[in-house]
Amino acid sequence: MGLLAAAIAAGLAAFGASIGNGMIVSKTVEGMARQPEARGILQTTMFIGVALVEALPIIAIVIAFLVMGGE
């Protein structure tokens, strides 16, 4: 049962991160289209946001390994 829980946790974390990254990038591109002069600050903020969103699947994988190790 722990293996199934670990697989579901990792899969949902990856799914959530992919949706989050898609939203971040799409809004950044939209902002660049509206204000091209703000490109640099928008890109910097986007990269910080993407890095924070990518932390979620990494934490989920660590938790999944901990769940699997308990068996």
| Tens-place pLDDT, residues 14-63 | 999 999 999 999 999 999 999 999 999 999 999 999 999 999 999 989 98
Check residue 14 and give left, alpha or beta (phi > 0: left; psi -120 to 50: alpha).
alpha
Say what the pTM is: 0.80
Domains of the chain with bracketed CATH: 1-69 (1.20.20.10)
Q: What is the DSSP letter of 36?
A: G
Q: What is the reported pLDDT for 70?
A: 64
CA distance 9 to 37: 41
Query: Where does the pLDDT of residue 64 fall: very low under 50, low under 70, confident under 90, or very high at 90 and above?
Result: confident
